[in-house]
């Protein structure tokens, strides 16, 4: 059992994405979507409000379609736990341009802070290692997040999964558009694709 982290999730995400440059970001439903939006709304953000378990796999399809760009799936422990099989699928696909960052508060924050599996011994990085990921790490401090941001900016031999242990609290919500068609078309336009 790990000690609860005191790291503020908004500060962690701000530090992680401060120098994101051209990285394409997909955020998992709930707090990660609010956290991403709180760093500033951008055309190259794709926010999920549902499709639980899908964030990293949307990242996979995107990474495969855009091999020259880095793709980051920013999600939560609950969302990633629903997509555990996807870690195996991504491990087999072995994209070199996909990182999964799990903001792990060890709780289901959106539904009343019920404890999740990650506070009870389940280690997502160990699962990623077992699925053949190229690199994994767990970080707990802002300094470590800054180091992680540098790691993510560098090249990889395959998919990577990083866990940022954060304090279990719900900061004020920062709400992006819930219109998925708008967000989709804006994202595609950013990459040079016309809407149908």
Partner 1 sequence: MHSPKPNLETDWPSELYRVLKAADVKQMSYVPDAGHSQLIRMFSADNDVTTNVLTTEEEGIAIAAGAWLGGQRSVLLMQSSGVGNCINMLSLSAIGRFPLLMLVTMRGEWSEFNPWQVPMSRATQPSLEAIGLKVMRAETAEDLVETVEAAASLAYDSDQQIAVLIGQRLIGKKKW
Count the residues of the shown chain that bind partner 1, applying the rule CB under 8 A: 37
CA distance 99 to 141: 19
CA distance 65 to 186: 17
Minimum distance between the CB of residue 195 and partner 1, rounded to whole angstroms? 9
Minimum distance between the CB of residue 23 and partner 1, rounded to whole angstroms? 13
Measured from the Cβ of residue 49, the count of other Cβ atoms closer than 10 Å reads 16
In 113-159 the beta strands, taken as DSSP E runs, fall at 114-115, 135-139
CA distance 39 to 33: 10
Q: Choose between 129 and 137: whose C-beta lies nearer to partner 1.
A: 129
Does 142 interact with partner 1 (rule: CB under 8 A)? no
Among 6, 85, 126, 173, binds partner 1 (CB under 8 A): 85
Where do contacts with partner 1 occur on this chain (CB under 8 A)? 24, 26, 46, 48, 50-55, 57-66, 83, 85-86, 88-89, 92-93, 180-181, 183-184, 187-188, 191-193, 196
């Amino acid at each position: 059992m790990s000690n609860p982290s005191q790291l503020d999730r908004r500060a962690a995400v701000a530090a992680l994405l401060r120098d994101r440059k051209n990285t394409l970001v997909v955020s998992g439903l709930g707090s990660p979507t609010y956290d991403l939006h709180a760093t500033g709304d951008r055309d190259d953000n794709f926010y999920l409000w549902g499709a639980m378990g899908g964030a990293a796999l949307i990242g996979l399809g995107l990474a495969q379609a855009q091999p020259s760009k880095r793709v980051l799936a920013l999600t939560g422990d609950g969302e990633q736990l629903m997509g555990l099989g996807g870690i195996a699928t991504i491990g087999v696909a072995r994209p070199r341009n996909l990182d999964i960052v799990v903001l792990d508060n060890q709780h289901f924050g959106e539904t009343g802070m019920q404890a999740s599996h990650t506070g009870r011994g389940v280690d997502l990085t160990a699962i990623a290692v077992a699925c053949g990921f190229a690199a994994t790490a767990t970080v707990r401090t802002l300094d470590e997040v800054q180091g992680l941001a540098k790691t993510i900016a560098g090249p990889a031999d395959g998919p990577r999964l990083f866990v940022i242990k954060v304090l279990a609290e719900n900061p004020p919500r920062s709400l992006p558009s819930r219109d998925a068609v708008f967000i989709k078309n804006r994202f595609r336009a950013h990459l040079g694709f016309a809407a149908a």
